[in-house]
């Protein structure tokens, strides 16, 4: 979820409205744009925008634009007029076809940048690259001081070691290879293009490098300052449509700063795509059926109301028929995929809090799952036996599951991308979690008797997830006189109370338990668990100070 | 004060003092037949009750150390040397005399020093010794040595004057150990004497009523000791449910009462259910390593059981299929649907339910699902947490009904005073609604997120009726109830905290 930092005065001037000082009131107003105030002071407001699909809301200009509609300060489509041609031509090299084939360009002139505006534009660019641009794989944006560039431009390829330029935030020239190896952006995004023998390069008629898409801009040309008046915007990418969409978001945002929009001409060498003039700011259309809308809402909105609400949400109205409207979608609404997206905007414009909630008494009967019911039975008995329930993580480490338990290494469900060394796999038994719990509580009064009904995950080749989830009950008693007899009494009481008669135990050896005081637990000739006194080495490993006896049973076998 | 108010060993102690002046604790033990520790306990309480007086007397106990024992057996070095010198005629070289005395080398300087100090002999030229006495008499130090050798220990205060000064000498010569002992002498006070005279007979007094006493009727003959009922007692900790688990149990009950059925499913999940069926494009950042935990091995599960559904989902992502959507417009990979991950949200379970043969329409479902996100664990983040969410499936369900469900939850589950709805966003619902609820004492809290499943979600699964999806932010509710601001306490490892947690 992007957080937009706005200057209060700037936001107010874009809105044409004084903002409420009260946090709750401000939150209610920002709810229209799915925004929430995260920080508020005299100068700045930080607004979290929850919609990660509404790229048009990720700038102060976009927020103000949308809010003006909802607050009835502006109605319907906002017009973005092309002022003329910038005269920029971009020649695309056919070798880019399988690397990064598309480019869109525009020039916005006559902007007075402030530091805050520049930071806002940079954040919008970053967020578009990250989310909409799929971390620059799909699209990436470059901004340049137009007055420093000599068109026409060439979007071509270069042999990595043969071209060098000074990348943004660096002082010295670096070859494309060096950028991939040493520049932080090269390291971060190099994987997108590294496999190609030649790499994308955007340069002007004087052979000055504008950028090495999608990695980094030139430090000389690709920098916007408070002195910049005219901006060249360029978007490259793997899909023509998303390239043009990204460009629209940037262009409309800058145009809202009183910039005038000028087009560029892109010359493609590909068979299926000839020349294109960009940006393309035309509206798209979508038909909505008012009967469908009302069925979705559960209350009636008339055609007339709908057109008003659509206007508030920034849409234009095309043809209206008896029960349907052709909606004009502004060029920056790149999120609209389905009439339900427009429906939501109508509902928001109507006001969620004006809708009367309805609780439908559906003829359903509620119940917990049979698994939960059985687990609750086991929990009830354990509590009755004086055991304290614990709740531990199912994620742990082989260190806890095996090394500390004195066990040999065995395969467990490991995580490919762990974040912490202590959480690298899923447990295949629960007892280690309990011993770990006790290790944090050696100073707490004894006796300590704890249990958990939790799950463990084991491999199962037959399952569609190749794994199986098992509800297990584990318990431990630790105090100076803890022993096998005590814990066996508990097991006995448990089985007696869940009505289990046909169970046996058989002596066994297990590295986590003391031999001669360990047994497997059997039900109808199936092994369902283990019981015994914890091995002193294991107690040492967990730094436990008192003897402990424990059992663990697989509840799935008993359900 | 009555004799019977005293415990048995207190009575015995008093009786042992009868007609005797000061008595040592040891002696009382001997007379009464009580253990030393029992007498000590009795002395303590009796003196608190001012029935006896305790005189404490400090004694110095003298014992020999190993070197002292050695000299006690063989004689002091100077004695051994003078004896051998006299045998040699009263005059001899030091070495000769020492050799004859078989005096250990280390003792020679000591012997020479004391010979001169005691005036028994003198050293002449060329290191010759000359005896000054013919037969020096035994000194007090030597007497003390032999008494100590015989008795093992002595009380310094009980010795005669010369022997007492010898103690100091031997102490300086580092031949004896001296330790302090406190001697307690007990005597009756006036009140104590009165009490003893008044009542001589011991009444059987009992602290624990035994089955034998009950059955035999002997309880009539004994006195049941009065307890100090205000004395602190040992702590007891009952077996209890974990506070958070208990909270979730109650929540389940409330949901069941509202007509919801519980869903369960695997924590290791297919990307298909976690993402693809929920219309999350395969190149979306949420699906990257920073957004979700993937299983290292095996990497992939199987989706062959859902073949037609997979095809519907693929076409919906790519171009919208029959859903009326534009789709995401990219190449959908079936291989990616098989990727195994740790369930990132409970909505995966809702998808499984919608595909289940047992699905009821209308139907209401909920799950308390363990979910996983790759976050570093800290005060506000967990890597693993419980999500409470579910769906309502039925003809004619609308946005109004969605708001109705949320309002119901807010009132029935959180017991809030006011609710507010706000636009929200989820990739798989449209419209989406957030529930904000006001509860006295807590303020406004974001209590739930919800929405109506997009047609891009329901139609590929073969669901032709609206599906309302909801999730409740119960963690925060519990934290407020339990008065904690550290989310790690949901999985608290602190036994003491869990034990002390009140049931509310």
Note the pLDDT tens digit of each residue in A520-533: 999 998 999 999 99
Band the pLDDT of A299: cuts 50, 70, 90.
very high
Please report the pLDDT score of residue B447 as a whole number.
83
Selected for mutation to probe chain B from A137, A464, A471 (highest B CB count within 10 Å) is A464
Q: Give the helix/strand (H/E) hosting B316.
A: helix B307-319
Q: Search chain B and give the residue with CA nearest A385.
A: B239
Q: Are residues A310 and A260 in the same domain?
A: no
* Domain assignment of residue B83, yes or no: yes
Final residue belonging to a domain, choices A278, A309, A329: A278
Q: Are residues A116 and A152 in the same domain?
A: yes
The mean pLDDT value of chain A amounts to: 94
Determine the Cα–Cα distance for residues A80 and B168; give it in Å rounded to an integer. Answer: 113
* Domain assignment of residue B221, yes or no: no
Which residues of chain A have a CB within 8 Å of the CB of B248?
Answer: none
> Across residues A40-52, what is the average pLDDT?
91
Would you give per-residue pLDDT tens digits along chain B (504 residues)? 555 467 778 888 888 887 777 888 888 888 888 888 888 888 888 888 888 888 888 888 898 988 899 888 888 998 988 888 888 888 888 888 888 888 888 888 888 888 888 888 888 877 788 888 888 888 888 888 888 888 888 888 888 888 888 888 888 888 998 888 887 888 888 888 888 777 655 566 778 889 998 999 988 888 888 888 888 888 899 999 999 999 999 999 999 999 999 999 999 999 999 999 999 999 988 898 888 999 999 999 999 999 999 999 999 999 999 999 999 999 999 999 999 999 999 999 999 999 999 999 999 999 999 999 998 888 888 999 999 999 999 999 999 999 999 999 988 888 888 999 999 999 999 999 999 988 887 788 888 899 999 999 999 999 999 999 999 888 888 888 888 888 998 998 999 999 998 887
Q: Are residues B383 and B252 in the same domain?
A: yes
Q: With CB atoms and an 8 Å threshold, state whether A465 touches B340.
A: yes
Final residue belonging to a domain, choices A244, A278, A312: A278
Strand partners for A541: none
* Domain assignment of residue A75, yes or no: no
Q: With CB atoms and an 8 Å threshold, state whether A464 touches B301.
A: yes
Which residues of chain B have a CB within 8 Å of the CB of A388?
Answer: 237, 239-240, 242, 495, 498-499
Question: Based on the number of CB atoms within 10 Å of its own CB, is A199 exposed (0-12), middle (13-18) or buried (19 or more)?
Answer: buried
Contact criterion met (CB below 8 Å) for A189 and A214 = yes
Please report the pLDDT score of residue B136 as a whole number.
86
CB of A70 within 8 Å of a chain B CB? The answer is: no
Question: Based on the number of CB atoms within 10 Å of its own CB, is B96 exposed (0-12), middle (13-18) or buried (19 or more)?
Answer: middle
* Domain assignment of residue A216, yes or no: yes
Which residues of chain B have a CB within 8 Å of the CB of A355?
Answer: 399-400, 403, 421
CB of A367 within 8 Å of a chain B CB? The answer is: yes
Q: Search chain A and give the residue with CA nearest B324.
A: A338
Which residues of chain B have a CB within 8 Å of the CB of A445?
Answer: 235, 237, 496
- Above 90 in pLDDT, residue A542? yes
Q: Are residues A345 and A227 in the same domain?
A: no
Q: Which two tokens stand for residue A476?
A: 């431990």
Q: Give the helix/strand (H/E) hosting B256.
A: helix B243-257
Final residue belonging to a domain, choices B109, B137, B165: B137
* Domain assignment of residue B361, yes or no: yes
Instruction: List, for residues A225-278, the tens digit of each pLDDT value.
Output: 999 999 999 999 999 999 999 999 999 999 999 999 999 999 999 988 788 999
Q: Search chain B and give the residue with CA nearest A344.
A: B431
Q: Which residues contact B377 (CB under 8 A, 6 or more apart)?
A: A420, A423, B383, B488
Please report the pLDDT score of residue A427 as a whole number.
97
- CATH label of the domain that carries residue A21: 3.30.56.10
Q: Are residues A230 and A324 in the same domain?
A: no
| Complex-level ipTM | 0.93
Please report the pLDDT score of residue B308 as a whole number.
96
Selected for mutation to probe chain B from A70, A352, A450 (highest B CB count within 10 Å) is A352
Q: Search chain B and give the residue with CA nearest A298.
A: B398
Q: Search chain B and give the residue with CA nearest A425.
A: B295
* Domain assignment of residue A128, yes or no: yes
Q: With CB atoms and an 8 Å threshold, state whether B296 touches A388.
A: no
How close A38 gets to chain B, by Cα (Å)?
Answer: 14
Please report the pLDDT score of residue B204 as a whole number.
66
Which residues of chain A have a CB within 8 Å of the CB of B372?
Answer: 395
CB of A520 within 8 Å of a chain B CB? The answer is: no
Of A341, A362, A371, the CB nearest to B362: A362
* Domain assignment of residue A511, yes or no: yes
Q: Are residues A394 and A295 in the same domain?
A: no
Q: With CB atoms and an 8 Å threshold, state whether A414 touches B295.
A: yes
CB of A530 within 8 Å of a chain B CB? The answer is: no
Q: Are residues A42 and A135 in the same domain?
A: no
Query: Given strand A548-554, what is the order of strands in its sheet?
Result: A388-389, A448-459, A467-478, A548-554, A526-534, A513-523, A503-507
Q: Are residues A210 and A311 in the same domain?
A: no
Q: Search chain A and give the residue with CA nearest B365.
A: A366
> Across residues A418-435, what is the average pLDDT?
96
Other beta carbons less than 10 A from residue A113's beta carbon: 18
How close B480 gets to chain A, by Cα (Å)?
Answer: 19
Final residue belonging to a domain, choices A278, A304, A323: A278
CB of A373 within 8 Å of a chain B CB? The answer is: no
Please report the pLDDT score of residue B2 as a whole number.
56
Which residues of chain B have a CB within 8 Å of the CB of A134?
Answer: 283-285
Question: Based on the number of CB atoms within 10 Å of its own CB, is A499 exposed (0-12), middle (13-18) or buried (19 or more)?
Answer: exposed
Q: Are residues A270 and A124 in the same domain?
A: yes
* Domain assignment of residue A364, yes or no: no
Which residues of chain B have a CB within 8 Å of the CB of A394?
Answer: 267, 370, 384
- CATH label of the domain that carries residue A232: 3.50.40.10
Percentages helix, strand, coil for chain B (3-state, rounded to 5) are 45, 20, 35
- CATH label of the domain that carries residue B105: 1.10.10.10
Of B239, B329, B444, the CB nearest to A388: B239
Determine the Cα–Cα distance for residues B290 and B288; give it in Å rounded to an integer. Answer: 6
Please report the pLDDT score of residue B476 as a whole number.
83
Of B372, B490, B493, the CB nearest to A437: B493
Q: Search chain A and give the residue with CA nearest B328.
A: A337
Residues 32-51 of A with CB under 8 A from B: 32, 34, 50-51
DSSP E strand stretches across A407-459? 425-426, 448-459
* Domain assignment of residue B372, yes or no: yes
- CATH label of the domain that carries residue A459: 3.30.930.10
Q: With CB atoms and an 8 Å threshold, state whether B400 touches A463.
A: no
Domain range enclosing B70 = 66-137
Q: With CB atoms and an 8 Å threshold, state whether A469 touches B268.
A: yes
If we measure between CA atoms, which residue out of A281, A285, A200, A287 comes closest to residue A245?
A: A281
Of B258, B293, B363, the CB nearest to A415: B293
Q: With CB atoms and an 8 Å threshold, state whether B242 touches A395.
A: no
* Domain assignment of residue B323, yes or no: yes
Of B252, B301, B421, the CB nearest to A466: B301
Of B298, B492, B496, the CB nearest to A444: B496
Q: Are residues B327 and B465 in the same domain?
A: yes
Task: Provide the number of CB pairs (under 8 Å) joining chain A to chain B.
Answer: 278
Q: With CB atoms and an 8 Å threshold, state whether A364 touches B237.
A: no
Which residues of chain A have a CB within 8 Å of the CB of B425?
Answer: 34, 50-54
Q: Are residues A327 and A443 in the same domain?
A: no
Total structural domains in chain A?
Answer: 4
Q: With CB atoms and an 8 Å threshold, state whether B249 touches A340.
A: no
* Domain assignment of residue B151, yes or no: no
- Is the previous residue joined to A198 through a cis bond, with omega within 30 degrees of 0? no
* Domain assignment of residue B216, yes or no: no
Q: Are residues A131 and A150 in the same domain?
A: yes
* Domain assignment of residue A314, yes or no: yes
Q: Are residues B268 and B133 in the same domain?
A: no
Of B242, B326, B399, the CB nearest to A337: B326
CB of A126 within 8 Å of a chain B CB? The answer is: no
* Domain assignment of residue A76, yes or no: no
Determine the Cα–Cα distance for residues B294 and A465; give it in Å rounded to an integer. Answer: 12
Q: Are residues B130 and B267 in the same domain?
A: no
- CATH label of the domain that carries residue B470: 3.30.930.10
Instruction: List, for residues A381-418, the tens digit of each pLDDT value.
Output: 999 999 999 999 999 999 999 999 999 999 999 999 99
Final residue belonging to a domain, choices B114, B137, B160: B137
Reduced to 3 states (helix: H, G, I; strand: E, B; else coil), residue B468 is strand
Q: Are residues A89 and A63 in the same domain?
A: no
Domain range enclosing A448 = 370-557
Other beta carbons less than 10 A from residue B181's beta carbon: 11
DSSP 8-class letter at A240: H
Determine the Cα–Cα distance for residues B125 and B135; give it in Å rounded to an integer. Answer: 23
Total structural domains in chain B?
Answer: 2
Q: Are residues B260 and B130 in the same domain?
A: no
Q: Search chain A and give the residue with CA nearest B499.
A: A388
How close B346 gets to chain A, by Cα (Å)?
Answer: 16
Please report the pLDDT score of residue B200 as a whole number.
53
* Domain assignment of residue B7, yes or no: no
Final residue belonging to a domain, choices B137, B163, B196: B137
Which residues of chain B have a CB within 8 Å of the CB of A366?
Answer: 255-261, 364
Of B240, B262, B289, the CB nearest to A417: B289
* Domain assignment of residue A165, yes or no: yes
Contact criterion met (CB below 8 Å) for B452 and B399 = yes
How close A188 gets to chain B, by Cα (Å)?
Answer: 14
Q: Which residues contact A496 (CB under 8 A, 6 or more apart)?
A: none
Q: Are residues A251 and A269 in the same domain?
A: yes
CB of A417 within 8 Å of a chain B CB? The answer is: yes
């Amino acid at each position: 979820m992007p957080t937009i930092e706005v200057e209060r005065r700037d936001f107010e001037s874009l809105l044409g409205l004084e903002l409420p000082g009260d946090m709750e009131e401000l939150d209610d107003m920002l709810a229209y744009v799915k925004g929430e105030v995260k920080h508020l002071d005299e100068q700045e407001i930080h607004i979290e925008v929850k919609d990660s699909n509404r790229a048009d809301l990720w700038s102060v200009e976009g927020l103000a634009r949308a809010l003006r509609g909802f607050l009835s300060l502006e109605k319907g489509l906002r017009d973005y007029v092309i002022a003329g041609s910038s005269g920029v031509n971009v020649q695309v090299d056919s070798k880019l076809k399988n690397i990064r084939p598309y480019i869109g360009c525009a020039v916005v002139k006559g902007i007075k940048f402030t530091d805050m505006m520049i930071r806002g534009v940079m954040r919008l660019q970053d967020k578009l690259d990250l989310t909409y641009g799929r971390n620059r794989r799909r699209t990436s944006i470059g901004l340049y001081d137009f007055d420093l560039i000599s068109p026409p431009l060439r979007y071509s390829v270069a042999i990595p070691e043969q071209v060098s330029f000074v990348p943004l935030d660096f002082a010295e020239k670096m070859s494309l290879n060096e950028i991939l190896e040493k520049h932080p952006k090269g390291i971060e995004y190099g994987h997108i293009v590294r496999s190609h023998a030649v790499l994308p390069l955007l340069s002007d008629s004087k052979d000055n490098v504008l950028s090495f898409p999608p990695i980094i801009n030139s430090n000389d040309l690709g920098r916007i300052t408070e002195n910049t008046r005219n901006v060249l915007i360029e978007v490259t990418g793997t899909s023509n449509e998303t390239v043009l969409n990204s460009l629209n978001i940037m262009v409309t945002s800058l145009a809202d700063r009183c910039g005038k929009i000028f087009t560029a001409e892109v010359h493609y060498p590909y068979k299926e795509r000839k020349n294109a003039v960009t940006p393309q700011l035309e509206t798209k259309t979508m038909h909505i059926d008012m009967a469908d809308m009302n069925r979705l809402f559960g209350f009636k909105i008339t055609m007339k109301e709908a057109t008003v609400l659509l206007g508030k949400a920034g849409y234009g109205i095309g043809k209206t028929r008896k029960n349907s409207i052709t909606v004009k979608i502004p060029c920056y609404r790149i999120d609209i995929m389905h009439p339900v997206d427009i429906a939501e905007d109508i509902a928001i414009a109507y006001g969620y809090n004006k809708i009367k909630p309805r609780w439908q008494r559906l003829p359903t009967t509620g119940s917990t799952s049979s698994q939960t019911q059985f687990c609750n039975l086991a929990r009830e008995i354990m509590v009755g036996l004086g055991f304290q329930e614990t709740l531990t993580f199912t994620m742990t480490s082989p260190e806890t599951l095996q090394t500390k338990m004195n066990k040999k290494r065995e395969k467990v469900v490991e995580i490919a991308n762990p974040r912490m060394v202590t959480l690298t796999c899923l447990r295949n038994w629960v007892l280690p979690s309990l011993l770990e719990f006790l290790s944090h509580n050696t100073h707490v009064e004894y006796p300590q008797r704890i249990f958990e009904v939790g799950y463990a995950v084991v491999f199962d080749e037959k399952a569609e997830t190749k794994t199986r989830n098992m509800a297990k009950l584990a318990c431990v008693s630790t105090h100076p006189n803890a022993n096998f007899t005590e814990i066996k009494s508990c097991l006995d009481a448990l089985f007696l109370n869940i009505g289990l008669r046909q169970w046996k135990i058989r002596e066994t050896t297990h590295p986590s338990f003391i031999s001669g005081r360990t047994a497997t637990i059997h039900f109808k000739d199936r092994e369902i668990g283990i019981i015994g006194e914890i091995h002193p080495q294991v107690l040492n490993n967990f730094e436990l100070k008192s003897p402990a006896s424990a059992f663990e049973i697989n509840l799935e076998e008993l359900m | 004060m009555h004799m019977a108010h005293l415990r048995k060993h207190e009575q015995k102690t008093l009786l042992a003092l009868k007609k005797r002046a000061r008595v040592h604790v040891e002696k009382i033990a001997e007379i009464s037949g009580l253990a030393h520790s029992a007498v000590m306990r009795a002395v303590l309480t009796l003196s608190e009750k001012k029935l006896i007086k305790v005189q404490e007397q400090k004694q110095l106990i003298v014992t020999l150390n190993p070197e002292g024992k050695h000299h006690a057996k063989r004689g002091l070095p100077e004695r051994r040397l003078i004896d051998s010198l006299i045998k040699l005629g009263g005059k001899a070289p030091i070495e000769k005399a020492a050799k004859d005395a078989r005096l250990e080398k280390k003792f020679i300087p000591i012997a020479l020093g004391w010979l001169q100090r005691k005036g028994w002999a003198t050293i002449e030229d060329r290191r010759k010794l000359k005896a000054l006495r013919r037969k020096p008499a035994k000194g007090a130090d030597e007497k003390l040595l032999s008494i100590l050798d015989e008795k093992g220990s002595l009380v310094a205060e009980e010795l005669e004057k010369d022997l007492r000064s010898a103690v100091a000498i031997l102490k300086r010569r580092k031949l004896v150990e001296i330790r302090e002992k406190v001697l307690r002498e007990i005597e009756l006070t006036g009140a104590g004497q009165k009490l003893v005279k008044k009542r001589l007979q011991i009444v059987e007094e009992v602290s624990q009523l035994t089955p034998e006493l009950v059955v035999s009727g002997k309880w009539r003959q004994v006195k049941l000791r009065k307890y100090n009922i205000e004395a602190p007692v040992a702590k007891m900790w009952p077996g209890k449910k974990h506070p958070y688990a208990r909270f979730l149990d109650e929540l389940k009950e409330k949901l069941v009462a509202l007509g919801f059925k519980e869903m369960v499913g695997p924590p290791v999940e297919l990307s298909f259910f976690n993402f693809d069926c929920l219309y999350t494009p395969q190149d979306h950042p949420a699906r990257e390593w920073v957004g979700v935990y993937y299983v290292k091995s095996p990497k992939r599960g199987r989706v062959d059981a859902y073949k037609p559904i997979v095809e519907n989902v693929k076409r919906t992502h790519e171009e919208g299929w029959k859903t009326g959507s534009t789709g995401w417009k990219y190449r959908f990979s079936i291989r990616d649907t098989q990727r195994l991950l740790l369930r990132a949200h409970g909505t995966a379970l809702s998808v499984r339910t919608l595909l289940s043969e047992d699905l009821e329409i209308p139907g209401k479902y909920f799950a308390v699902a363990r979910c996983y996100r790759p976050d570093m664990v800290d005060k506000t983040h967990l890597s693993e947490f419980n999500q409470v969410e579910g769906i309502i499936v039925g003809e004619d369900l609308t946005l109004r009904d969605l708001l109705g469900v949320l309002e119901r939850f807010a009132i029935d589950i959180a017991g809030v005073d006011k609710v507010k709805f706000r636009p929200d966003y989820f990739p798989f619902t449209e419209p989406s609604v957030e529930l904000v609820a006001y509860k006295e004492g807590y303020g406004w809290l974001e209590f739930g997120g919800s929405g109506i499943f997009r047609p891009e979600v329901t139609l590929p699964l073969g669901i032709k009726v609206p599906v309302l999806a909801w999730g409740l932010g119960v963690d925060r509710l519990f934290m407020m109830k339990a008065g904690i601001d550290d989310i790690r306490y949901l999985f608290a490892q602190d036994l003491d905290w869990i034990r002390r947690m009140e049931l509310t």
